[in-house]
Amino acid sequence: MSGILAVLEQREGQLHKMALEALAAAQKLGAELGAPVYAALLGTGADAAAQVVAQYDLAGVHVLGHHLLAEYTPDGYTLALRQLIEALNPTYVLFAHTYQVRDFAPRLATALNRVLVSDVVGHRAENGAVVLVRQMFQGKIAADVHFNGEGPFFASVQAGAFRADTLVAGSAKIAAFSATLDAAQIRTKPLERFRESARAVDLTAAPIIVSVGRGIREEDNIPLVQELADVLGGELAASRPICDNGWLPMERQVGSSGQTVAPKMYLAVGISGAIQHLVGMKGSKVIVAINKDPEAPIFEVADYGIVGDLFQVVPALIAELKKK
């Protein structure tokens, strides 16, 4: 096969939100190169997740079954995927840039004497070759990356860089792939899965995010922005100073040292738009900014901007939204 293989993360039958973004990247590349696109899934629930993935226009979906793959281990995933890749011989192997992928994909690529180009934000075709684009120095520079030699070429794609809603529907065949694994090859033993506290929030899954910055002045004013998030049915997030001050938990921080999000709408309230913040949210579908400074850099990425005092604008917005 000379095609594209998208390795999709799932847990107990639920696809990781970014999995479909990786699949969208694979479909896009496949369409441009005229190459078939395949998906691969591993772990408990892979069969159920494969049913969902098979509803897209793919040349096939491979389910890697083995009791040693039930729980994620870097050894198990590396060994099993290596066997699948050697059997299929794809030109490109794509992943979403999830924590799990960061853990095992560099090792998988190295096992095949290749490298992983991580956190890709875009691509283009140049003289029949694919050029990948990835950010450096916290988004200040976009680097073009070319592959040398023969595939398989490995790359992971950044959250929000490719949109799952561009996926083309279809009907793909599901095939089982039996990996050969020995318990002695798995050097780590999964223990009980870490569960975040009940307050923990997965901002990457929120369709609407209202994010608050230092313009809010003090902790006592945070409920104003929380109310806006509530009437919009969104999640509350923040720039770093808000979390550094302990006004909101760290899990709500967006940016280079926080979460990378790509919701349908990101409403930035009193956030200047420092590069470290922008890298975490500029993939959002629609960006709305409220800031009293018309020169604030956030307006450079905003689709809609309101220049004004948030203490006047936000209550007025809440009142209007409540009428609806």
Ligand X SMILES: Cc1cc2nc3c(=O)[nH]c(=O)nc-3n(C[C@H](O)[C@H](O)[C@H](O)COP(=O)(O)OP(=O)(O)OC[C@H]3O[C@@H](n4cnc5c(N)ncnc54)[C@H](O)[C@@H]3O)c2cc1C
Residues making contact with ligand X (CB under 6 A): 213-215, 239-241, 253-258, 270-272, 274, 276-277, 280, 290-293, 296, 309-311
Residue 40 parent element (H or E): strand 37-42
Question: By C-beta, is 68 or 275 nearer to ligand X?
Answer: 275
CB 233, min distance to ligand X, A: 23
CB 188, min distance to ligand X, A: 30
Question: By C-beta, is 44 or 276 nearer to ligand X?
Answer: 276
CB 229, min distance to ligand X, A: 16
In the complex, residue closest to ligand X by CB: 255
Contacts of 82 (CB under 8 A, 6+ apart): 108, 111, 112
259 residue type, one letter:
Q
The conformation of residue 207, written as its DSSP 8-state character, comes to S
Give which of 288, 298, 212, 290 is closest to 247, Cα–Cα: 212
Determine the Cα–Cα distance for residues 129 and 151; give it in Å rounded to an integer: 12
Question: By C-beta, is 40 or 161 nearer to ligand X?
Answer: 161
The conformation of residue 194, written as its DSSP 8-state character, comes to P
Determine the Cα–Cα distance for residues 210 and 192; give it in Å rounded to an integer: 33
CB 281, min distance to ligand X, A: 9
Question: By C-beta, is 77 or 247 nearer to ligand X?
Answer: 247
Q: Is 286 helix (H, G, I), strand (E, B) or coil?
A: strand
CB 299, min distance to ligand X, A: 10
CB 156, min distance to ligand X, A: 20
Please, are residues 118 and 89 in contact by the beta-carbon 8 Å criterion?
no
Question: By C-beta, is 144 or 293 nearer to ligand X?
Answer: 293
Contacts of 188 (CB under 8 A, 6+ apart): 73, 74, 75
Give which of 279, 299, 278 is closest to 290, Cα–Cα: 299
- Which residue in this structure is represented by tokens 């799952």? 164
Cα separation of the two ends of the chain: 54
Question: By C-beta, is 182 or 295 nearer to ligand X?
Answer: 295
Question: By C-beta, is 98 or 239 nearer to ligand X?
Answer: 239
CB 292, min distance to ligand X, A: 4
Question: By C-beta, is 149 or 294 nearer to ligand X?
Answer: 294
Determine the Cα–Cα distance for residues 131 and 123; give it in Å rounded to an integer: 6
CB 276, min distance to ligand X, A: 4
Cα of 204 vs its chain's centroid, Å: 7
